[in-house]
Structure 1
Amino acid sequence: MPRARSSGPCVGSVTIGKLGVAALLALTPLTAQAQTRITPEAFLDAVLGKTVDFHDFRSGDLVGTEEFLSSTVSVWRREGRGCVYGHITTPNGQICFFYDDAVEGPAVCWWPFEYKGKLMVRLATFADSEIQEVRSITEDGLNCPSAPIS
């Protein structure tokens, strides 16, 4: 049997209105329409042989600097810390780093994308929405000792 029509809201319905929609949109840091996923290979092509500064998207703070020695080897340095070498892989649309010190687990993986013409990476886990922005790409090396050959 069809339900009778009513001009009032249904019991249990939720109405958030225009203000609620605006608040939800403001809380979303990057909307799907404004970002473009790129392949790990495209990301590596942009940074290969270069040194990249990564900044936290929300705070703007420098997270660290990475020199991409090849498409499979990088060196990472956080502010105030030494250099850590990493092996790069590109499984399932992600770019993953296996660092020598392995303090953050076996691999740190990211989804690369572009946002408003900038290179970005998002931590490839649903438990943490960390996003980092590439703020500079230079030819300057990190001058870290004993760089691996391969």
Structure 2
Amino acid sequence: MRNLMILLTSLALTPVVALAAEPLGAEDFDRYTQGKTLFYGFDGTAYGVERYLPGRRVIWSFLDGRCQEGSWYEEAGQICFLYEDRSDPQCWSFELTPKGLSARFRNDPEATELYESGDVDEEMLCLGPDVGV
């Protein structure tokens, strides 16, 4: 019994090292996202929504009603997005966690980290183009 107590005490005092999940490659990312509309949060607030379509196509919105069409591809272990209004790719490393996807911009520990928001009671809203007079 004494040995069991010593073992349990030593386990309790041993630091637990969390193993980081491996970033998702293109096949796993596509398998998880295709056909879904995922809402993302940042620092406790709503950040944006993305609809994942066949053929690695996407529609993104910052939840402001303006939607941007784009596509994605894998490069150097990151998932990169090209949108219709930008010429520079937006690259992220995605990991699948027990709570859903998490994404780190440019795989930089100091950069923006988004997370999949579960049970969002909203639809993706895309308004038409601006109409002038």
CA contact (8 A) 1:34 1:116 kept: no
Q: Is the alpha carbon distance of 1:32 and 1:81 closer, same or farther for their aligned partners in structure 2, counting shifts above 3 Å? A: farther
Give the alignment of 1:69-80 within 5 angstroms.
69-80=53-64
How many residue pairs match? The answer is 112
> C-alpha displacement at 1:142, in angstroms?
3.6
> C-alpha displacement at 1:129, in angstroms?
1.8
2:11 paired residue number: none
Segments of structure 1 that go 5 or more residues without pairing to the other structure are 1-30
> C-alpha displacement at 1:134, in angstroms?
0.9
> C-alpha displacement at 1:128, in angstroms?
4.5
Q: Distance in 2 between matches of 1:137 and 1:89?
A: 27
The one-letter code sitting in structure 2 at the alignment partner of 1:100 is E
The one-letter code sitting in structure 2 at the alignment partner of 1:118 is G
> What is the DSSP-based 3-state SS (H/G/I as helix, E as strand, rest coil) of the residue aligned with 1:80?
coil
Q: Distance in 2 between matches of 1:128 and 1:47?
A: 25
> C-alpha displacement at 1:35, in angstroms?
3.5
2:79 paired residue number: 95
Instruction: Give every structure 1 segment of 4 or more consecutive aligned residues whose post-TM-superposition deviation is greater than 3 Å.
Output: 125-128, 140-146
> What is the DSSP-based 3-state SS (H/G/I as helix, E as strand, rest coil) of the residue aligned with 1:43?
helix
Q: Is the alpha carbon distance of 1:132 and 1:111 closer, same or farther for their aligned partners in structure 2, counting shifts above 3 Å? A: same
1:67 to 19, 33, 51: 51
> What is the DSSP-based 3-state SS (H/G/I as helix, E as strand, rest coil) of the residue aligned with 1:35?
coil
Segments of structure 2 that go 5 or more residues without pairing to the other structure are 1-16, 129-133
The one-letter code sitting in structure 2 at the alignment partner of 1:52 is L
CA contact (8 A) 1:47 1:137 kept: no
Q: Distance in 2 between matches of 1:120 and 1:39?
A: 14
Q: Distance in 2 between matches of 1:112 and 1:137?
A: 20
Give the alignment of 1:1-150 within 5 angstroms.
33-56=19-42, 59-102=43-86, 106-126=88-108, 128-136=110-118, 142=124, 144=126
State, as a whole percentage, how many aligned pairs show the same letter: 23
> What TM-score, normalized by structure 1, do the two folds share?
0.62
Q: Distance in 1 between matches of 2:30 and 2:68?
A: 18
Deviations 1:105-131 (A, max 9, x none): 511000011334431111115385211
Based on CA coordinates, which of the two structures has the bigger radius of gyration? Answer: 1
CA contact (8 A) 2:65 2:125 kept: no
The one-letter code sitting in structure 2 at the alignment partner of 1:101 is D
Deviations 1:77-127 (A, max 9, x none): 11224110011111121111101111xx51100001133443111111538
